[in-house]
Structure 1
Amino acid sequence: MSFVPLRIKTAFSLLRSPIRLTDLIERAKELGYSSLGISDLNVMYAVPSFYNLCLQNGLKPIIGLTLDLPGMILSDQTYPLSLVAVNNEGYQNLLAISTLVNTNDAITISQLKNMLSGTVIILPALGEVNDLIVQGKQQQVAEIITKLTNMGQLPTDIKLGIDFHQSATIVDTLSKLAADNGLKLIADVEVDYLNSDDLFLSRVLESIAAGTKIENVFEASRKRGEYFLRPVEEIEQYFTDMHLQGALQELNRLVSDANVTIDVQEAKLPRFTTPNNLSSEDYLRQICEQGLQKRSKTDGIQNETNYTDRLKHELSIIHSMGFDDYFLIVEDVISFAHRNNIITGPGRGSAAGSLVAYVLRITDVDPIKYDLLFERFLNPERMQMPDIDLDIPDTRRDEVIQYVGNKYGHERVGQIITFGTLAAKQAIRDVGRTFGLSVTQQNQWSQAIPNALHISLKDAQVNSQRLQNLISDSTINAELFRVASQLEGLPRHYSTHAAGVVLSDDPLVNHVPLQNGNEGLLMSQYPKEYVEISGLLKMDFLGLRNLSILADVLGEVKDNSGIEINPSQIPLNDPATIKLFAEADTTGIFQFESSGIRNVLRKIAPTTFEDVALVNALYRPGPMENIDEVVKRKHSEEPIDHIDDSLKDILMPTYGVIVYQEQVMLVANTLAGFSLGQADMLRRAMSKKKINVMEEMKVAFINGAKQRGHSEVVAVRTFEYIEKFANYGFNKSHAFAYSKMAVELAYLKVHYPGEFYVSLLRSVQNNDVKVKQYIADAKKRHIQIVAPSINLSQDNFMITDKQIRFGLSSIKGIRSDFVKEIISERQTNGKFKSFQKFCQSN
């Protein structure tokens, strides 16, 4: 016999337990456990992490769920009901049950009918059965059993939980009830915290959740709890002393029978509905060929043979990897956006290296013109899901997500959960509140913690004398800091992933537990890293403020001058625009605003769009180390070394320095004859410093170079050269796509400054610092800024007669509803004739 805790409550029962999963596993191994079961309250947030950690540490994971439901007899109260999955059918049912609970306002036990197969129900020791016994209503326990069996649950799958903390009288009654109803007793000891002195941490968390204060902190902190993770032998002895070995044996049988496997699943893509019953492959080819014809006309493509051959190559790889539907889904979303005048970004990440994405207008950078590589995006020699992230104006992102939800169905589309944690300042504030600190006192603590990103309380204590003084001021302060330090990092609340949306060919609940999200969508209870291995397609719809600005500028230009500008057709080498970058006049320009990148612009002094993208790529951690070398070579202060003439075209755009990951791939392809797929594997091995793989590939590289007529000296030197820079290489596709967006904004700043600045100011209306900065920059361009007018101003900034006028909402202290009333009154009855008239109308 060996005790196994089946009802461990983790920190993912938000603000109800201080148990971290890593600490749980470590402590369980110390105490001699061979198996563990978690059973968080109503949710399954922790399940995949717990499952993997158990397997990694040689422990058998038992997957459970505790529901908080109205009593089956004492229905005016809620009681815990514990479910344990004994097989994968049971696990699937737990997903469905947790989803049911978290997508409905209130449920009762009767709603779980036909959802309990593959599970064992444990009526917890400290639950409704216990209360019925205490109230002398033990005969009504039989009614509970009848309700459960009427729902399809076999008596063998219903257990009465028994706890060694219970009195002898309760234990005797439970034993008789079990015998009378044909049930088995099972050892059931809840674990709410790891150590007995962690009771206080649980109490603090509960107070944080409830927004209450702890009356006597020191008295409460001295109390020790009973429901902690005890040594196995200790609990077994308790049950043996109470002659409850049978309850332990029943527990062992359940643990032995429980075998749930949570496997990595390949994404099951939704099937795209094509016209005329065409196959996905044929339809994708058709719209790509049509897209290429349109691109040839609008973008002036000269050598169509190169494009046709590349298109065939990419389509064959896409089809062989089973991703035809994926591209059709993404194209459909993009088409919806464009049909509804929602501009989209030029691309993000390696997707800009795909000609298929370009001709479908998913991206807007010509990959052949700029030597962007498809295999950097989708490598046929390494099975992976394509990853196309879509940039959308942040003001219109909801429309796109709603379209996807309506297109594929509410049950098949969802958002992804993320968790906010108790960071340093938040932990101090929350604990301080439960300790009864005033807002002023909480602010003192917060101000004593340095404003460093992700700083821990431990580091803050080391680096802040002010914090050290606060801690030493009193015993209550020392206790506050101790508790906050122990709670720091625990999940505090859930929120929605900023961009991620998941799609499935079947209901999401078949893969992950769900809850209600935002915008009328469901939301996965499993975070991003787990939805991607649960058979779901993840897409990122990123709301970009700068795209909203771009759309606003284009709208202003059209309204003011009647000119309709297609951002896709903005020239990327417009001399005045490139000059703006060379002079680092980039206030308000996406990704080029910081003082650091402006310094790089001044040093490099771009003369082409490629130079602008080069600066964007260089100003990153890692690539920064190459800035000075690029500057010297560009300005002829240092010779440009191409190593070998065959590499000149590859290295010339970056002055002989490998800046881009794609250059590593092209060098391996050109000099050593690697396929682009093999070259991508080499790039990955170098960036991740996989020494064994690199040594193998080095031999292949040298042999390939020699076979192509290069000397071993050149081959070795080239390999060492790319090895030197590969770790700092940046994704060229991403650099060019985002630089294109920057150039589009810069072009509008140069040629339509009034429209540019009014849109820029609107985007930061509530940020006084940015408003001042942008106004100062606008004045340098001789743009007149005028004060708000009760008769002329709208809600936000506006441009009329080449003047930018403040909006009424810019006036401090004015309410938005009052602004609306003023504008409405003006529209109805005309301008205000006097201050008195204005006062009378309001």
Structure 2
Amino acid sequence: MFLNVHSSYSLKYGTLSIGQLVQSARQLDIHQMVLTDINNSTGAIEFIRECYKQNIAKEKNEAQKGNIPYQLKPVVGIEFRIQNRLLYVGIAKSKEGMRELNEFLSHHNIHNIPLPEVPPDFKDAYVIYPFHKLFAKDLKEHEFVGIRSNQLNTLYKHPILNQQEKMLVWHPVTVADKITYRLHEYLRAIDLNTLLSKVAENDKCEKDEYLIDENRLVKQFEQYPFMVANTRKLLDGCDLIDYFEPGSEPVSKNRLTYTKSLDHDKVLLRRIALIGLKYRYGEHNIIARERLEKELRIIEFKKYCAYFLITFDIVRHAIGECNFYHVGRGSGANSLVAYCLRITDVDPIELDLYFERFLHEKRTSPPDFDLDFSWDERKTIQEYIFKKYPLGHVAFLGTMSTFKDRAIIREIGKVLGLSKEEIDSFTDPTRERENLQNPTYQKLLAVHAYMKNMPNQRSIHAGGILISEEPITYYTALDMPPKGFPTVQWDMYEAEQIGYEKFDILSQRGIGHIREAVDLIKSNQGKEIDIHDFKTFKEDARLNEILREGQPIGCFYIESPAMRQLLKKLRCDNYLTLVAASSIIRPGVASSGMMKAYIERYHAPDKVQYLCPQMEEQLKETFGVMVYQEDVIKVCHYFAGLDLADSDILRKAMSGKYRSKLAFDELVNKFFASARKQGHSEELITEVWRQISSFAGYSFSKAHSASFAVESYQSLFLKTYFPKEFMVAVINNYGGFYSRWVYVYELQKTGARVHLPCVNNSDDVVNIKGNDAYLGFIRIQGLEDKFVTRIVQERRQNGFYLDLEDFVQRTCITLEQAIILIRLGALRFTGKDRKTLLWDIHNYLGFKQKKVNHAELFKLKYKTYELPSLEDSELENAYTELELLGFPLNYKMFDFLKTNYRGDVMANEMNNRVGETVRMVGNYVCEKTVHTVKNTKMWFGTFVDVNGDFFDTTHFPNATPVYPFKGKGCYLILGKVVEDFGFPSIEVLKFAKLPIHMNPVAID
């Protein structure tokens, strides 16, 4: 009887979740209602599923009481609006009708076409128009008009009475009560970006838009029983049974085949995998062949051949057609088939990785591959996928952002008209106790309690793509976000519930570093690099020596201060240790104490006491610490005797990803029962289970860590043997963990001559020719993109610029833009200093842009004047570089200091001064704030000394009660040198930023 129900997916309008709506309907004995969210179908399948779940629960409950149960029949549709004006509501008769509605909305979203006043003639969907006094329309077979109870008094002699069979009971649902109506008003004010008091009545729902008992609703229309009958007839004509799926797990909605035949898919996958097996392992590797056959059996059983083949096709296109480099990571690297298909470069046999971590017979949730490409190549791959598969069968995953704590306070404060200062004070966590006494803040908290975690806006997933067998519009309408690809209106969690496995096409800067470095090496040195020769890299003694020293600045995943410290503490000099380091560096592992335990055991393996021989055999590689998720699987399998499938299910359950507590308890009982059958004592089983329970939630996929480690070695190889080209590539691909200046200085440390931008030598990005590297025009503060492009293109087409006049005429540059380049020295090719050029450019362009006639017959020279000698200060130029580049190139930050003091101890001497209190001077690199168990702040800092060597500091709350960092600059540090497993650092006692020479221009 309720034809127009809004959930909270009617963004900033509806107030009730899907679960709340269904539960309320059941409590009121409502038999039929239609979810029609505004311009979206985000919650449609969730609504159907929730009704089905609650119907089953109700049936069981009623059956136990001996009563006859009834069903809550879900019907879905879409409410179509332009801005806040209701046009009509579409209601699906069937699954085909929902597709019609979704495709209608998708067409207008994708092509950015306004919705029409009258929709098309749907074959399997009804259209309901809102009634008003002047309503006059000859309604078609599928069209109706909805009439509210408060509109009945306007029906007297109304023309619509001539079409009685088209009149329906209309009772929209938006809120639950007076409180949620007030919440609705807040949401509308936020949506309209206006004050709460200024929200117009026609921008809000009516106050009676809540669910009521069906009998009460029928009574409101007792004078018009035909309207009740029409409404029931319409709802009875809707049947969405095709969306109901028997069983607890959804049927896969992904593309079922790659070759249009399941059998052909099996044959093709096997053939490609065998070719890859020969490439990876040679002709006669029996272990690899047996593993391959086992995996293929499971893949075929789970009907996953198409998923592997589609991923293989993407990788083949990237490698063969585009010459792109990629990294396949995540649990997919546990698969030998994936390794043979070159989806990943991680050898699962070498690392003892279990395929069951990725896929097994009992797995219910779908796994997926993560493919990383360079940040500037990913779109090409995405475009290939969208062109390869039919329109409507491929789409990006969406995301649903929700209202968060501080954002809610800010939004509510704005619509209440609070000042920015007051809002800022309410979002300051240090003033929480004071704010709780404030009545206004209490009011904000009351609204916050209702709004928290409500849907706020739809967006696009970082890289998830769906490729569907049937049109995706059976399940969702499509949006067209700014990225330019059709996108579903729900997120990855709903996709999994529906039965979709995503293809993750992701990007990272580290791959850009590697790809561009390889290209630069070829162009600058004429050398071809096989960057996939990982087996050679990991055995390279020189690379492992650099790894052990913990100074891999610029190298993917291993350059951060925390990772450098860990590498140094472990004295990491091999691939397997790096894989472990990539896992234990993660925050949960480190905070749990596992990192410390691992380091201690790593340095004293003979002192490790294992609980039993099976634990020693399975965990010897990690010294008894369950570093990886695969370790949990191994212990469950080899110690307790569970099969690998159950072992993975138990591992996943302990990480908090299992839905049923009852099923989890059954697995735990199975673990204990199976372990007893292995002959283990109760005490031993209990202790092993305790360790599994404590480690499982923190453990990390070994395959994931291995993928990172492979890429780290590739970066390390390039930095070690081709440091100049590698550092240029890092800079051009937007750096890594640190600020840009760190990488520029690292480039200088390689021996390269790094030059300021020059209009006759620089490109948009940094270039390198021989030993000379020129900074690019990109990232110059204030320089417009159009001139960055024009300067470079004009020079390439017509040769070097001859002088200032020639440069201005050929680029049509403005005075302001020319001044930026002159101040930075980019026109030094003229032989004139910056001050003289500034006089010349003002003389030439004046204060207005001079019109340049490219068709002039004769080139007229502008007059020149004899100028007095102008002083060009090195300090002034350094300040200019600091302003326009963010760092001075050849004038170190230490040179700005008023003092010549550079510290008593350098970074490379710290190991010899452990236990001593020393003074050091360091140039600030970065900092990290953490909270202690007592909820006080402490800090970790990273600095470089005057020689360019890194050192790290620790700032305890009791020693530095006031936040000590004051941004860029050099600091005088007094502290005690401490050492932890060979890694020295400073425990800071006193800390101050040092004064610098002022800019001469500012002084003048």
TM-score above 0.5: yes
CA root-mean-square deviation:
3.9
Q: For residues 415-453 of structure 1, give each alpha carbon's deviation from its aligned partner in whole angstroms, at most 9, with x where no partner exists.
A: 12223344455556656666678xxx5477357634xxx
Which whole-Å CA distance do the structure 1 matches of 2:756 and 2:172 have between them?
Answer: 66
Q: Secondary structure at the match of 2:502?
A: strand
CA distance in 1, matches of 2:681, 2:76: 64
Give the Cα separation in 1 of the matches to 2:225 and 2:107: 36
Structure 1 residues 501 and 292: CA distance shift in structure 2, 3 A: same
Find the partner of 1:320 among 276, 285, 301.
301
Instruction: Output the amino acid matched with 2:549.
Output: E
Is 2:815 the counterpart of 1:808? no
Which sits farther off after the overlay, 654-663 or 48-57? 48-57
Higher relative contact order (CA 8 A, sep 6+): 1
Q: Which residue of 2 aligns with 1:738?
A: 708
Q: 1:794 is matched with which residue: 729, 743, 763?
A: 763
> What pairs with 1:444-463 in structure 2 (closer than 5 Å)?
445-446=423-424, 449-450=427-428, 463=432
Distance change (3 Å), C-alpha of 1:504 and 1:68: closer
Q: How far apart are residue 598 of structure 1 and its match?
A: 3.2
CA distance in 2, matches of 1:25, 1:732: 42
1:368 counterpart = 2:379: no
Q: 1:10 to 1:69 in 2, by over 3 A?
A: closer
The reply to whether residue 10 of structure 1 matches residue 7 of structure 2 is yes
Answering whether residue 246 of structure 2 is matched by residue 266 of structure 1, we say: no
- CA distance in 2: counterparts of 1:813 and 1:310, whole angstroms: 59
Distance 1:599 1:482, change over 3 A: same
Whole-Å Cα distance in 2 between the matches of residues 415 and 528 of structure 1? 10
SS at the partner of 1:181? helix
**Letter of the aligned partner of 1:697 in structure 2?**
F
Select between 749-758 and 348-357 the one with higher mean Cα deviation.
749-758
| Matches of 1:420 and 1:715, distance apart in 2 | 43
- State the number of aligned residues: 778
CA deviation after TM superposition for structure 1 residue 550, in Å: 1.7
Which residue does 2:628 correspond to in 1?
660
Taking a change above 3 Å as real, the CA distance of residues 100 and 171 of structure 1, as seen in their structure-2 partners, is same
Deviation at 1:615, TM superposition (A): 1.1
Q: Equivalent residue for 1:420?
A: 401
- Alignment equivalent of 2:565, drawn from 596, 599, 619: 599
1:60 aligns with 2:72: yes
- Match for residue 380 of structure 2? 399
Residue from 265, 271, 274 that aligns with 1:289: 274
Stretch of structure 1 that moved more, 356-365 or 85-94:
85-94
One-letter amino acid matched to 2:787: F
Residue 279 of structure 1 corresponds to 264
1:42 alignment partner in structure 2: 39
**Deviation readout 1:68-126 (Å, 9 max, x if unpaired):** 489xxxxxx9753223334444444444444344345145577633x332x44433334
1:508–1:233 CA distance, 2 compared to 1 (3 A): closer
> Which residue pairs with 1:510 in the alignment?
474
% identical equivalent positions? 24
The secondary structure found in structure 2 opposite 1:65 is strand
Tell me what 2:464 maps to.
500
**1:602-631 residue CA offsets vs partner (Å, 9 max, x unmatched):** 322213111111111112244332112211
Aligned to 1:550: 514
Instruction: Letter of the 1:694 partner, please give it.
Output: V
Q: Deviations over 1:339-372 (max 9, x none)?
A: 1344444422111111111111001011111111
Match of 1:751 among 698, 713, 721: 721
2:3 counterpart SS class:
coil
Q: CA deviation at 1:825?
A: 2.9
Q: Which residue in the other structure is 1:578 paired with? A: 544
The alpha-carbon distance between structure 1 residues 464 and 392, as it changes in their structure 2 partners (threshold 3 A), is farther
Hey, what does 1:651 align to over in structure 2?
Answer: 619
Say if 1:215 and 1:283 are closer, same or farther in 2 by CA, change over 3 A: closer
Q: Give CA-to-partner distance per residue, 1:11-69, whole Å, 9 cap, x none.
A: 32334444444554566667775654321223211223333444555583543434548
Distance 1:125 1:462, change over 3 A: farther
Per-residue CA distance 1:174-225 (angstroms, 9 max, x = gap): 5x734x33515332022344445666655564555455x4595599899995
Deviation at 1:541, TM superposition (A): 0.7
- Secondary structure of 2:532 counterpart: helix
The alignment's TM-score, normalised by the length of structure 2, stands at 0.70
Q: How does 1:652-801 map to 2 (within 5 A)?
A: 652-671=620-639, 674-688=642-656, 690-703=664-677, 705-706=678-679, 721-764=691-734, 770-779=739-748, 781=750, 783-801=752-770
Q: Is the aligned partner of 1:85 residue 2:92?
A: yes
Deviations 1:145-192 (A, max 9, x none): 2xx13xxx3xxxx54422121262x23345x734x3351533202234
Q: 1:227 and 1:760, CA in 2 relative to 1: closer, same or farther beyond 3 A? A: farther
Q: Find the counterpart in structure 2 of residue 74 from structure 1.
A: none
2:594 counterpart (599, 610, 626)? 626
Q: 1:99 aligns with which of 97, 106, 122?
A: 106
1:783-807 Cα distance to aligned partner (Å, 9 max, x none):
5543222322211222233344321
Secondary structure of 1:417's aligned partner: strand
Displacement of 1:500 = 0.8
Q: Secondary structure at the match of 2:156?
A: helix
**Structure 2 counterpart SS, 1:269:** coil
Which structure carries more helix by proportion?
1
Query: Aligned partners of 1:223, 1:505: CA distance in 2, in Å?
Result: 40
CA contact (8 A) 1:197 1:224 kept: no
| SS of 2:459 mapped into structure 1 | strand
1:247 to 224, 227, 234: 227
Distance change (3 Å), C-alpha of 1:799 and 1:728: same
- Cα deviation for residue 551 of structure 1 reads 1.0
Query: Contact 1:512–1:531 (CA<8 Å) still a contact in 2?
Result: no
Is 1:229 the equivalent of 2:210? yes
The secondary structure found in structure 2 opposite 1:279 is helix
* Distance in 1, Cα, partners of 2:654 & 2:785: 55
Amino acid at match of 2:569: K
Aligned residue in 2 for 1:526? 490
| CA–CA distance in structure 2, aligned partners of residues 333 and 692 of structure 1 | 41
Q: Is the 1:415–1:502 contact (alpha carbons within 8 Å) kept by the matching residues of 2?
A: yes
Residue 384 of structure 1, CA deviation: 4.9
Q: Which residue of 2 aligns with 1:186?
A: 168
Amino acid at match of 1:171: L
Q: State the Cα distance separating 1:269 from its structure 2 match.
A: 2.5
Kindly state the Cα deviation for residue 578 of structure 1 after the two structures are TM-superposed.
2.7
| 1:546 and 1:590 in contact (8 A); partners too | yes
Rg larger for = 2
Aligned to 1:136: none
Give structure 2 stretches of 5+ with no counterpart.
Answer: 56-70, 245-249, 813-1004
Amino acid aligned to 1:45: T
The one-character-per-residue Cα deviations of 1:240-261 (angstroms, maximum 9, x if unpaired) are 5x73455345445555664534
Cα distance change of structure 1 residues 819 and 670 upon mapping to structure 2, 3 Å threshold: same
Q: Which stretches in structure 1 are left out of the alignment for 5+ residues? A: 71-76, 133-139, 451-459
CA contact (8 A) 2:254 2:466 kept: no
Structure 2: distance between partners of 1:585 and 1:372: 30
1:30–1:462 distance in 2 versus 1, CA, 3 Å = farther
Aligned residue type for 1:373: Y
1:112 is aligned, of 85, 107, 120, to 120
Cross-structure match for 1:348: 329
Q: Which residue of 1 aligns with 2:960?
A: none
Match of 1:410, SS state, is coil
Local SS of the residue matching 1:585: coil
Taking structure 1 as reference, are residues 805 and 423 closer, same or farther at Cα in structure 2, changes over 3 Å only? Answer: farther
In the superposition, the TM-score normalised over structure 1's length comes to 0.82
Write out per-residue CA displacement over residues 385-411 of structure 1, whole angstroms, 9 at most, x where no aligned residue. 342121111211111121122222223
Matches of 2:176 and 2:614, distance apart in 1: 64
Mapped to 1, the partners of 2:457 and 2:504 lie a distance apart of: 22
